[in-house]
Amino acid sequence: MSGPADGYTLMAGHIRPASRGFLRLTSADPSVPLEINPNYLSVQSDVNALVQALEMCREIGAAKALDEWNGGELYPGPDAVSKTELERYVRQSVITYHHQVGTCKMGVDAMSVVDPTLRVYGVERLRVVDASIMPSVTSGNTNAPAIMIGEKAADMIKATSRA
């Protein structure tokens, strides 16, 4: 990316997308890589939300208070005005916050990977203790919830080992 020496960047993000990806085992051999499909923007409401956020960024960028630093819009560019053009830009430029969660569902139903004490169903002496047990991503950084999960797991493991 290139641009003026002085300026600013406005960037929109969709914190709680509806799109859901998946992990799939491709073999019983643990050395064979998983199939990982993040399925970004597979739900139209996610695309619509990002287009709306892009339009809001444009409104903010057009504020008189920013004129001194406004060298012009670089991406998607001032010529991209239709919903179709903005949607195309969103689909081509989307990135992730890298806070994926929810790949090891905790619960008691048939779709659950771990039980309420984080033990993996069907595997002895194995627990999953990370953000993958969370049902959906938090609106903030996942670090604090992941630490809380680890602290709670440590308490459960210590309690089990004392029994």
Catalytic positions, please? 99
Q: What is the 3-state secondary structure (H, E, C) of 41-68?
A: CCCHHHHHHHHHHHHHHHHHHCCHHHHH
Contact 50, 90 (CB under 8 A): yes
User: Quick one: tokens of 70?
Assistant: 């406004």
Rounded Cα–Cα distance for residues 35 and 23 (Å): 6
| Cα of 125 vs its chain's centroid, Å | 30
Within 13 A of 89's CA, how many CA atoms are on the CB side?
21
